[in-house]
Structure 1
Amino acid sequence: MAHHPDSVRINKAISDSGYCSRRQADTLIEEGIVTLNGITATHGDRVMPNDEVKISGKPIRENDTTVYIMLNKPVGITCTTDRRVKGNVVDFMKHEERIFHVGRLDKPSEGLLLMTNDGDIVNKILRAGNEHDKEYIVTVDRPITPDFIERMSNGIPILDTITKKCEVEQLSRFVFRIVLVQGLNRQIRRMCEYLGYEVERLKRVRIMNLELGTLPVGKWRDLTKEEVRELKNRVEDSQNTPQANRSEKTEGKRRRR
């Protein structure tokens, strides 16, 4: 029997909500305390996004506890959910929900970091390809030349590849703006190093439609409803599966018409 593409098995729905592991969910289903839309659930049940799953009468995730947060990450905080790492971002924020970061910013970098408990959007954003642009303001250790800007925009050989063409603009003697659509390990730092420059300050100011704006370092705020809506619109074409790439060509044709 073909399953609806948006449906997931009930044990996965429970584990995706962060309530417990799949195996623990199986045990709860066996105990008969899990309900799906008010009916006692069984192992084979499949859950649609708007279905209500309860355990002992309590919803596994209240609809309004999905959080989307913009953090202005300070230098020195590490993007990891591993609480054993000193200065990890989770302990830094002390948020009551179990949240994790979307993508990462190196420890010595600062700026916009998206934090959420919505696992679905994380995968979609990371797979959104060219739609997923990120803007940085970078300060380097010596004066920027037209040649530097041109070479940075046209691709630099790092990590056995050549970086994709990107938008680079000089802002002042030592400062430039760069928009990336890929996220190689320490990409901007490595690109600058290749050209003999050292990054002194690296700040991410935008991810897709999300602008850091005047949010102070170390502070965070919830995204507005409008920001969340726009973000979801931008990534809805990128399915949450690796085969998304295969259908991109047909998608592109449809969109261009």
Structure 2
Amino acid sequence: MRLNKYLAHCGLASRRKCDQLIKDGKIRINGKITIDYSYKVKGDDVVVFENRAVSLDDEEYSLYLLNKPKGYICSNAKDNKNRVIDLIKSDSRLYTVGRLDVNTTGAILVTNDGDLANKLSHPRYDKEKKYLVRTFIDIPKDRYERLKKGLSIGRRQRAKGIIKRLKKENKHIYWEIILTEGKNREVRRIFEELGSEVIDLHRHEFAGLSVQNIDIGSYKKIDSNIFNN
């Protein structure tokens, strides 16, 4: 197994971060600093980071589906408060799969497998993400259906997906939006482009995994092998 992939599978960091650790000379193999990303780790190699041996036997991979509360951030920086990863009871180093902004609630995956987190966060990972949206301003059908063919949302980016108008209740409009990509603040930017503003945003499903039966702030452990294909 290549060194960068080996380190990520050990839960040390994401593949990209592991590349940087190797480049910075932070990794030793059999007592020598190694800066070759493609080095193939052998069974009898001793891999060391910060005077600690790193082994595939160090920990078991875990994957969690969490129903994120409002006010929590998707960050690993230790100086940040209200981190999503701190809601999981684990001694492992954890990573969120992608991000939800601080005011968005709902489905977020958390794992100690840095390689898996990096893979599932990539823009080309095209699993469906389903959101429930509440707005004050209604949008004509012919306008919001433009999203099916692609809608410019600024920064030379386009969004593509499906919007469904669910109901109007107490002067609020409720929508479901289905996307496959994960651009920064994509849902909010889509509604801004359509002339409305998001009041509440909740991702109720990610890659077929629903948080409907998970309380806000709670989570459940799921089988990470579902993403092996």
| TM exceeding 0.5 | yes
Paired letter, 1:120: D
User: In the alignment, which of 10, 32, 41 is matched to residue 17 of structure 1?
Assistant: 10
- What is aligned with 1:155? 150
Q: What is the alpha-carbon distance in structure 1 between the residues aligned to residue 58 and residue 140 of structure 2?
A: 51
Over the aligned positions, Cα root-mean-square deviation in angstroms equals: 3.0
The TM-score normalised by the length of structure 1 is 0.69
Q: CA 1:12–1:118 in 2, change beyond 3 Å: closer, same or farther? A: closer
Greater relative contact order, per chain length (Cα 8 Å cut-off, separation 6+): 2
Q: Please give the alpha-carbon distance, in whole angstroms, between the structure 1 residues aligned to 2:163 and 2:210.
A: 18
Amino acid in structure 2 at the alignment position of 1:210: L
Larger Rg: 1 or 2?
Answer: 1
Distance in structure 2 (CA, Å) of the matches to 1:232 and 1:128: 17
Show the counterpart of 2:206: 207
- Cα distance in 1, alignment partners of residues 44 and 138 from structure 2: 59
More strand as a share of residues? 2
What's 1:47 paired with? 41
Bigger helix share: 1
Q: Quick one: which amino acid aligns to residue 171 of structure 1?
A: L
Counterpart for residue 84 of structure 1 = 79
Normalising to structure 2: TM-score of the pair?
0.76
Question: Retained in 1: the 8 A contact 2:5–2:115?
Answer: no
* Identical-residue share of aligned pairs (%): 28
Unaligned segments of structure 2, at least 5 residues: 14-20, 33-37
Aligned residue among 74, 94, 97 for 1:99? 94
Cα gap change, 1:15 to 1:188, in 2 (>3 Å): closer
Gaps of 5+ in 1: 1-6, 32-43, 234-257
Pair 1:175 & 2:174 matched: yes
Which amino acid in structure 2 is aligned with residue 100 of structure 1?
Answer: Y
Tell me which residue corresponds to 2:219.
Answer: 220
- Matched length: 207
1:194 to 1:211, Cα distance in 2 relative to 1, 3 A: same
Deviation at 1:63, TM superposition (A): 7.2
Letter paired with 1:151: R
Q: Within 2, Cα distance between the matches of 1:217 and 1:145? A: 32
- Counterpart residue type for residue 103 of structure 1: G
In structure 1, the residue matched to 2:189 is 190
Corresponding position: 1:230 with 2:221: no
2:105 corresponds, among 104, 110, 119, to 110
Which residue in 1 is equivalent to 2:30? 29
